[in-house]
Amino acid sequence: INATGLVAAAQVNALLLRRYSSRAILRIAMSVHLLAALALLAVTLLVPQAFYPLAVCIFVVVGSYGFVGANATAAAMARAERSAGSASALTGILQFAFAAVVGGLVGAFNDGTALPMAIAIAVVSIAGTLARISARSA
């Protein structure tokens, strides 16, 4: 189901790009992602056994990647016109490297609950939002 949300969001993103800028979509998508990540953390802390609220939060977090991923990559690539191939390679390797580190940390702190995952998603979402804000002001 989460993969369906991701694919559907990517398709809607393509349609929205006909009318709105990539940066505008990214700003809204990252805001939705941050709210869903914080809601996931809150649900995990307050009602850890509540399956449906947890599932909805994860669906929104994963689905938002359909908007965030493509538009964030486009924003990164826009700054590297002359070396697009290198920028694309660097973007890809950084995504995999961060995923490996964060995934390892979630595994290391596994306590049988969704809490380590929820903390990691919230922290990464906050970091991404701060990076977007700082890039905008640069």
Can you give the pLDDT at residue 137? Answer: 66
SS3 content of the chain, % helix, strand, coil (to 5): 85, 0, 15
Can you give the pLDDT at residue 77? Answer: 83
Helix, coil or strand: residue 20:
coil
What six digits make up the tokens of 11? 């398709």
**Tens-place pLDDT, residues 37-55:** 999 999 999 998 999 999 9
The candidate with the shortest Cα–Cα distance to 26, out of 57, 61, 87, 70, is: 70
Which whole-number Å values give the CA distances from 131 to 14, 52, 72, 95, in the listed order?
24, 31, 11, 14
Can you give the pLDDT at residue 56? Answer: 97
Q: Which sign, positive or negative, has the C-alpha torsion 62, 56, 9, 26?
A: negative
Can you give the pLDDT at residue 21? Answer: 94
Can you tell me the distance from the alpha carbon of 31 to that of 107, in angstroms, rounded to the nearest whole number?
27
Task: Work out the pLDDT band at 135, boundaries 50, 70, 90.
Answer: confident
pTM of the model: 0.90
**Tens-place pLDDT, residues 72-115:** 988 888 878 788 888 889 989 999 999 999 999 999 999 999 99
Q: Are 30 and 129 in contact (CB under 8 A)?
A: yes
What are the residue ranges spanned by the domains of the chain? 2-137
The candidate with the shortest Cα–Cα distance to 59, out of 72, 75, 40, 73, is: 40
Q: What is the DSSP letter of 114?
A: S
